[in-house]
């Protein structure tokens, strides 16, 4: 069954007026539908941005009534993370040279959105496994939690949003101190399903490898190449991640430009929101080459 957004809004309003048992059934039904809507393909950035705010608030409201729904938790955490990156953090980067104060406000907003996503995802994991958060914080690997296959998506978005939050909170030592937990969580997911998201998890592993103390460029490069292979060259994000993580820090302009051109080509092979976001980023980076090198 498919609902359009107005019908979904009406359904939620009705759900909130129902008695406990029927209400729970209706909430679960709407939760499942919202989760499915969150995974539907969309490659129009303007349309996605216009619809996102309503969709995210609605999904978040239903999630509070159905905290054990892993698919909806994954959709909500993923939605807030993608919104923060595509429509807030990226805008802050582009505004940096024009209005420093406005850019800083956008970064602060993006950080709050990343944290919101992380809290939803971690709450879902804790709901599934009581003590999950405490176990993840334990430096002893023998005590680390284990992930089921149906938890990999939530764990991925938890790690991605957490990493995004830390990247925008470098002046807060207590936030940066959580980086080992992010790396731990991503590694637990990667051990279980290394090709998750057609290379999205491998790309995240590469980025985290470069961020962690003792991380090596060689290992990060292996992760990025694995991401490209897992997507069969159809993920623009994998090429952009390799360009920004490997070629840019090395000052290799020709490799940087070549990888971004590959990202543009990949975006033509698969039309979805992630590729469209990364296509725009790749083009923006190409347009600012002289400022970067």
What's the CA gap between 154 and 179, in Å, rounded? Answer: 18
What pLDDT does residue 32 have?
A: 52
Q: pTM value?
A: 0.84
Residue 67 pLDDT: 79
Report yes or no: 204 and 163 within 8 Å, Cβ to Cβ.
Answer: yes
Token pair recorded at residue 248: 């840019």
Q: By the 8 A CB rule, do 163 and 208 touch?
A: yes
Compute the chain's Rg from CA coordinates: 19
pLDDT 10s digits, 3-20: 344 444 443 443 444 444
* Residue of 247, 250, 234 lying closest to 285 (CA atoms): 247
Q: Report the candidate in 158, 147, 164, 136 with the shortest Cα–Cα distance to residue 73.
A: 158
CB 272 within 8 A of CB 43: yes
Average pLDDT over every residue of 135-142: 91
- Report the residue count for the chain: 293
For residues 231-250, give the mean pLDDT. Answer: 95
pLDDT at 25 over 70: no
pLDDT over threshold 60, residue 253: yes
pLDDT the model gives residue 88? 95
Give exposure, 59-74, as e/b (b: 16+ Cβ within 10 Å).
bbbbbebbeebbbbbb
| pLDDT, position 57 | 86
């Amino acid at each position: 069954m498919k609902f359009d957004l107005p019908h979904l809004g009406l359904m939620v309003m009705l759900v909130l007026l129902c008695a406990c048992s029927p209400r729970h059934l209706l909430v679960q039904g709407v939760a499942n539908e919202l989760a499915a809507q969150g995974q539907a393909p969309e490659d129009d950035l303007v349309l996605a941005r216009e619809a996102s705010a309503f969709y995210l608030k609605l999904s978040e409201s239903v999630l509070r009534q159905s905290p054990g729904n892993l698919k909806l938790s994954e959709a909500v955490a993923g939605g807030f993370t993608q919104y923060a990156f595509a429509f807030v953090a990226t805008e802050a980067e582009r505004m940096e040279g024009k209005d420093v104060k406005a850019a800083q406000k956008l970064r602060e907003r993006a950080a709050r959105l990343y944290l919101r996503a992380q809290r939803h995802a971690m709450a879902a994991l804790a709901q599934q496994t009581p003590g999950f958060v405490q176990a993840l914080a334990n430096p002893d690997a023998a005590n680390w939690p284990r992930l089921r296959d149906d938890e990999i998506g939530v764990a991925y978005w938890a790690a991605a949003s957490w990493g995004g939050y830390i990247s925008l909170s470098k002046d807060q030592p207590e936030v940066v101190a959580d980086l080992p937990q992010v790396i731990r969580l991503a590694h637990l997911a990667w051990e279980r399903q290394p090709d998750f998201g057609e290379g999205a998890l491998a790309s995240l592993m590469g980025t985290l490898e470069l961020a962690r103390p003792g991380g090596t460029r060689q290992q990060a490069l292996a992760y990025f190449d694995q991401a490209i292979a897992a997507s069969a060259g159809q993920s623009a994000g994998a090429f952009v991640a390799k360009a920004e993580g490997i070629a840019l820090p090395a000052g290799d302009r020709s490799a940087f430009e070549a990888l971004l051109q590959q990202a543009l080509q990949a975006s033509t092979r698969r039309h979805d929101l992630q590729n469209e976001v990364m296509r725009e980023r790749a083009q923006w980076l190409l347009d600012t080459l002289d400022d970067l090198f």
